């Protein structure tokens, strides 16, 4: 089976992890700080905090901004449930903004309309950089300035991507940006994530919430001149820390980050050229963006989508669907959401198939995928 996504683990990666196993630190130590520094420098951002998943990063980002009961958070319905669950963890309520079906990203026109019609803006907006392409963050930030909401970028798909020639993660147009390092993402730490910010106050909160709310920093404590062993819990935090093993793998992986993204773009270009010849539709990338291409998504008529999905699986091509709209999930329907509320997200879902895309996808396998799709559609 050709998987839709797969990590590339090199001998260098393995040796980096083995080195940590043979060291004095396997949980918390210098590698975590070095990984954070590496990502911060790459993204041209001031602060970065590694955690054990992007879900955890989203949760601590909401906590750092002060999301709680009585607040509302808006996000895209075209995402994994973690993008909205993070607000529910904080006791807030959730709503969604429909997508631009051409890109799969949150539609800024729909956002502007929703803001103009609502009684009160959300506390936080979480735009999701779907498939590796940044949302239109400059327009979103302008709306943030006008209406007073905060911004957490869910860039789980987009490390290594660019928006207006700046790295995704620079936080130029957001308060916090979140990455994922899951195995099918651009670089991996097995499980892992990171929260980035330029704000020192938010950075302080992110550091606290990922580690029990405990600090050894004298300036954060309630007493002067504590004993050298002393620590205090000053917030109700969580144990969301990344291990040295994960960080060592992440450091090694980032050595190839640009190469991974370049290869994904090259593979995407081959798909586009082949599919343009036969009129197969796929997600569009705006000229302001350089996509990290976590996913390559084709769109086919709803009445053949399921049959094509099964056909490709039967031919050992590991396709997938990203995503079932969050508001259609049973849990969210119990919260009051209904089928038909976000028409573009639902229409997109009825058409989309994610086909294999990862750096080690061979030319022969890619051609097999292309020809198999063409053969089905020409039947």
pLDDT at residue number 224: 83
Distances (CA, A) of 44 to 36, 72, 136, 196: 12, 30, 19, 10
Lowest-pLDDT range, 87-96, 225-234, 283-292? 225-234
Q: Which fold has domain 257-377?
A: 3.90.1150
> Full-prediction pTM beyond 0.75?
yes
Of 269, 38, 41, 44, the residue nearest 165 (C-alpha) = 44
Q: What is the pLDDT of residues 183-242, one digit of tens each?
A: 999 999 999 999 999 999 999 999 999 999 999 988 898 988 778 889 999 999 999 999
Q: What is the pLDDT of residues 32-73, one digit of tens each?
A: 999 999 999 999 999 999 999 999 999 999 999 999 999 999
pLDDT at residue number 226: 78
pLDDT at residue number 218: 87
Ranges of each domain in the chain: 11-254, 257-377
Architecture of the domain whose range is 11-254:
3-Layer(aba) Sandwich (3.40)
CB 95, CB 74: distance < 8 Å:
yes
Q: What is the pLDDT of residues 101-121, one digit of tens each?
A: 999 999 999 999 999 999 999
d(CA 148, CA 151): 10
pLDDT at residue number 188: 98
pLDDT band at 5 (very low <50, low <70, confident <90, very high): very high
């Amino acid at each position: 089976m050709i998987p839709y996504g797969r990590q590339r683990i090199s001998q260098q990666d393995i040796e980096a992890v083995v080195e940590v196993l043979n060291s004095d630190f396997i949980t918390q130590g210098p590698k975590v700080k070095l990984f954070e520094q590496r990502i911060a420098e790459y993204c041209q951002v001031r602060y970065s905090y590694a955690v054990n998943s992007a879900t955890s990063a989203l949760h601590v980002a909401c906590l750092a901004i002060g999301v709680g009961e009585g607040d509302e958070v808006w996000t895209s319905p075209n995402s994994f449930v973690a993008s909205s669950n993070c607000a529910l963890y904080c006791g807030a309520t959730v709503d969604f903004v429909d997508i631009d079906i051409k890109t799969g990203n949150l539609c800024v026109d729909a956002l502007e309309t929703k803001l103009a019609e609502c009684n009160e803006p959300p506390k936080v907006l979480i735009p999701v950089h779907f498939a590796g392409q940044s949302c239109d963050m400059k327009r979103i930030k302008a709306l943030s300035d006008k209406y007073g909401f905060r911004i957490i970028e869910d860039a789980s798909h987009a490390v290594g991507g660019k928006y207006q020639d700046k790295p995704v993660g620079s936080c130029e147009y957001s308060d916090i940006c979140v990455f994922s390092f899951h195995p099918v993402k651009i670089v991996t730490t097995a499980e892992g994530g990171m929260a980035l910010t330029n704000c020192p106050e938010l950075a302080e909160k992110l550091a606290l919430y990922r580690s029990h709310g405990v600090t050894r920093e004298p300036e954060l404590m309630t007493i002067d001149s504590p004993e050298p062993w002393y620590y205090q819990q000053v917030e109700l935090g969580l144990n969301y820390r990344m291990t040295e093993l994960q960080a060592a793998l992440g450091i090694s992986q980032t050595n190839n980050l640009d190469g991974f993204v370049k290869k994904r773009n090259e593979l995407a270009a081959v798909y586009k050229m082949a599919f343009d010849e036969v009129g197969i539709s796929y997600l569009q990338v705006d000229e302001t963006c350089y996509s990290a291409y976590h996913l390559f998504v084709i769109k086919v008529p709803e009445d053949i989508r399921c049959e094509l999905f099964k056909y490709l699986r039967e031919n050992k091509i590991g396709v997938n669907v990203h995503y079932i709209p969050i508001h259609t999930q049973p849990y969210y329907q119990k919260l009051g959401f209904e089928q038909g509320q976000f028409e573009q997200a639902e229409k997109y879902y009825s058409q989309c198939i994610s086909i294999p895309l990862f750096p080690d996808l061979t030319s022969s396998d890619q051609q097999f995928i292309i020809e198999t799709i063409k053969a089905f559609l020409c039947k």
